[in-house]
Amino acid sequence: MNPIHLIATCILAFLYAWVLYNIPILIVGLKRLRHAEQKEEKTSRVNKKKLPTFSIIIPMKNEERVAERSLNASLKLDYPLQKREIIVVEDGSNDKTAEICRKYADKHPHQIRILHKLGSDGKPSALNYAIKHAKGEIIAIFDADNAPEKDALIKAAEYFEDPSIAALQGTTCAINADENLLTKFLSYEEAAWLRTYIQGKDALNLFVPLTGSCQFLRRNVLEKVGGWDEKSLSEDVEMAAKLTEKGYRIKYASDIRSWQEAPASIMQFMKQRTRWFRGYMEVALKYGKLITKINKKTIDAEITLIGPYLFTLSLVGYFTAAYSFIAPSQFQSVLTLISLFTSLVTLATLLIVGVALIYATKPRRITNLFWLPFIYAYWGLQTILAARALIQIILRRPRNWTKTTKTGMTTATF
């Protein structure tokens, strides 16, 4: 067999196995999403006499455009004042962020504490610095552009009544979804990914990754695992892998919502996703030993973490498949069969995602199906960004924790 054809066949077979593995997860998540839409909003039954204490940590650096929005939303959280604290880690800003935070701390001295870090070396470092000063039993993390809904803490407290839950991932929604076509598209992607794919993983008791914001962790668990890896570009998923390795349970909470900005420019989006992909790839290598622990959660964790590598393989697969059609051989019939199978798998995946898009918004909109061609093109862009991240790893480019610039744009009502 022509080596090019052999490579193409192996790559495509590997990709099909990965896609077919994920389709049942999407189906289960879609089923959960549909049932959630049919249920009425439940009333919290948490025992208000035994509410846990929360430390809300908000890392900030050069966030003058969004700082007030975040602090106002945190102050409005419906939770007893004596059982919560807001810790802002001001990480060496050179704009008016520190001034804005001080104004709020002076006005609400019993609710807000400001911690200043002289050296700025990324979000994981800021989080580790904050937990040294935190008093709460539960650590709640919100990015500087986040505006959690009022009931976020009370709902989280209800989940944590289950002692088996070590960490909780809520749902993030785009606060600027209507800013432009990119933010609208990313808002749908985020809704479908969290409320379908991650919800499917949670329902099947598989690996639930943390996403960096609107997440909650028991402080004693954080201390046991040594906090966040300050060298990681994806400290959230690294923490999730660490917790999974040590047997802790992470739960997804679709009803806990926080609003945050989606990247409004293609350059910001590409920088953000490249960092995410590189972070995932490095975590996959660091926790490769998860595959040796034979249980469905650890195996699923490694399958999830290698996703960006498979995106890169997809790009290679596109090129080898194209070459195969340019230079046909006696194996052309096999490659044609593989291509047909590719079309069927892709169609099935897009169909599931399409239904998820319909249910991911309120009110439900059939017109969301018009986004499917963009999703297919978006998958192609993902393969390029994943390849870019892999090249950075191979060339040992410095790990620079670059934050996504926020504009303060709000188009949603919450």
Q: Give me the percent of the chain exceeding a pLDDT of 70.
A: 81
Predicted local distance difference test score (pLDDT) of residue 258: 96
Per-residue model confidence as pLDDT tens digits over 52-82? 999 999 999 999 999 999 999 999 999 999 9
Rounded-to-integer distance, Cα 181 and Cα 173, Å: 16
pLDDT of residue 320: 60
Q: What mean pLDDT, rounded, does the chain reach?
A: 85
Q: pLDDT tens for residues 328-376?
A: 555 556 555 555 565 566 666 666 766 666 666 666 667 666 666 777 7
What's the whole-number mean pLDDT along residues 6-30?
A: 78
Q: Is the pLDDT reported for residue 314 higher than 90? A: no
**Residue 140 clears pLDDT 90, i.e. is over it:** yes
Asked whether 4 and 174 are in contact (CB, 8 A), the reply is no
pLDDT at 412: 73
Residue 110 has pLDDT above 70, yes or no: yes
pLDDT of residue 18: 80
pLDDT at 324: 59
* Residue carrying structure tokens 């999830």: 304
Query: Cα angle vertex 68, ends 153, 406, to 5°?
Result: 95
Beta strand 54-60 with 138-141 is parallel
Buried b (16+ CB within 10 A) or exposed e, 185-205: bbbbbbbbbbbbbbbbbbeee
What is the rounded average pLDDT of the residues 195-201?
92
pLDDT at 175 over 80: yes
Average pLDDT over residues 401-408: 79
Measured CA to CA, the distance from residue 55 to residue 29 in angstroms comes to 31
Q: Is the pLDDT of residue 380 over 70?
A: yes
In this model, does residue 38 exceed pLDDT 60?
no
pLDDT, mean of residues 133-162: 96
Q: Is the pLDDT of residue 131 over 80?
A: yes
Categorize the per-residue pLDDT at 382 as very low, low, confident or very high, splitting at 50, 70 and 90. confident
Higher pLDDT, 311 or 240: 240
Q: Would you identify the CATH topology of the domain 1-37+50-414?
A: Spore Coat Polysaccharide Biosynthesis Protein SpsA; Chain A (3.90.550)
Question: Average of pLDDT values for 147-165?
Answer: 96
* Closest to 412 measured CA to CA, from 170, 197, 168, 149: 149
Burial 207-236 (b: 16+ CB within 10 A, else e): bbbbbbbbbbbbbeebeebebbbbebbbbb
